[in-house]
Amino acid sequence: MILIDNIKFSYGKHEVFDNLSLQFCEGTIYGLLGLNGAGKSTLLYLMCGLLFPQGGKIEFNGMDVTKRNPNALADMFLVPEEFELPRVTFEKYVKLNAPFYPKFSRETLDKCLSGFNMDINIRLDKLSMGQKKKAFMCFALAANTSLLIMDEPTNGLDIPSKSQFRQVVSSCMDDHRTIIISTHQVADVQNLIDHITIIDGKKCVFDQSVIDIEKNLIFSASTSENAIYSQDNFGGKLSVIKRLDDDSETPLNIELLFNAVLAEREKISDVFKK
Digit-coded pLDDT (tens) for 7-33: 999 998 898 999 999 999 999 999 999
Model pLDDT, residue 247: 64
pLDDT category at 228 given cuts 50, 70, 90 is confident
Model pLDDT, residue 245: 61
Rounded CA separation 35/149 (Å):
18
pLDDT in tens, 139-194: 999 999 999 999 999 988 889 999 999 999 999 998 899 999 998 888 888 889 99
Distances (CA, A) of 216 to 28, 76, 90, 192: 20, 33, 46, 20
- What number of residues does the chain have? 274
Model pLDDT, residue 31: 95
Rounded CA separation 260/24 (Å):
23
Model pLDDT, residue 132: 92
Residue 221 φ/ψ, nearest 5 degrees? -100, 25
Model pLDDT, residue 223: 64
Model pLDDT, residue 135: 93
Average pLDDT score over residue span 267-274? 85
Domains of the chain and CATH, by start: 26-38+66-201 (3.40.50.300), 207-273 (no CATH)
Model pLDDT, residue 51: 93
Q: How many Cβ atoms from other residues are within 10 Å of residue 107's Cβ? A: 8
Average pLDDT score over residue span 120-136? 91
Average pLDDT score over residue span 111-118? 93
Exposure string over 21-34, b if 16+ CB within 10 A, otherwise e = ebebeeebbbbbbb
pLDDT in tens, 44-75: 999 999 999 999 999 999 999 999 999 999 99
> Which pTM does this prediction carry?
0.92
Model pLDDT, residue 231: 83
Average pLDDT across the chain, whole number = 90
Model pLDDT, residue 251: 83
Edge-first strand order for the sheet with 55-60 is 14-24, 2-11, 55-60, 63-64
